[in-house]
Chain A
Amino acid sequence: EVQLVESGGGLVQPGGSLRLTCVASGFTFSSNWMTWVRQAPGKGLEWVANIKADGSEKYYVDSLKGRFTVSRDNAKNSLYLQMSSLRVEDTAVYYCARDVFRPTSIGGALYYYYYMDVWGKGTTVTVSS
């Protein structure tokens, strides 16, 4: 069964740090881009960061650059999100997702589609004093 399981969430004080882990099973983890998405209580989805299959490329939403770091260990089928200088507004459910890369030729043009087809159940981070 294809599965993603997040862990590492919890209660942390403002200014603190936390590392989230996402463990993959049932597919070839080392062949896939992976993404972190978060959702604040009662709010919509926010794309946080992603990382290429071999870890050589990483991208972040501008507002989190410098505080959050995405990484992976393909030998352990694991994705990580290191979060530092946490703020109250970082309180959210954090999801990891498999990011499928699908090059498609349409009418002679090449399109490079990405979509998230497998999601974990999420881990909750609460930043509060």
Chain B
Amino acid sequence: DIQMTQSPASLSASVGDRVTITCRASQRITTYLNWYQQKVGEAPKLLIFAASTLQSGVPSRFSGSGSGTDFTLTISSLQPEDLATYYCQQNYKVPRSFGQGTKVQIK
């Protein structure tokens, strides 16, 4: 199975800050990488698929990059509504494993 490792596990940043979350796969997955946002008490929401394609309706301050084993989710200017946990997920092969999550808090 492919293991997905995210870092950091949590972070605290101020409104307007640039925030970066990394995700590393245990083997090469080209661009078979999705990012989800989960707010407390809610179901996950798709942000980005194919490593860098923004899902319709998602604010442009979110962006994704990477290929192979290393990927990044960037929030260019953190907003109060971005308080959430973010998960990467590989869709290279089944089981389609998730990272352990990165909790983003607002200072």
| Total count of chain A residues near the partner, CB < 8 A | 25
Binding site for A on B (CB under 8 A): 1, 30-32, 34, 36, 38, 42-46, 49-50, 55, 85, 87, 89, 91, 94-101
A50 lies within 8 A of B94 (CB): yes
Given contacts A47-B96, A50-B94, A59-B95, whether A113 and B32 have CB atoms under 8 Å apart is: yes
Binding site for B on A (CB under 8 A): 35, 37, 44-47, 50, 59-62, 95, 100, 102, 104, 111, 113-117, 119-122
B87 lies within 8 A of A62 (CB): no
A111 lies within 8 A of B98 (CB): no
Q: Which residue of A lies closest to B96 (CB)?
A: A47
Q: Say which residue of B32, B55, B95, B97 sits within 8 Å of A117 (CB atoms).
A: B55
B43 lies within 8 A of A122 (CB): yes
How near does chain A come to B103, taking the closest CB pair, in angstroms? 10
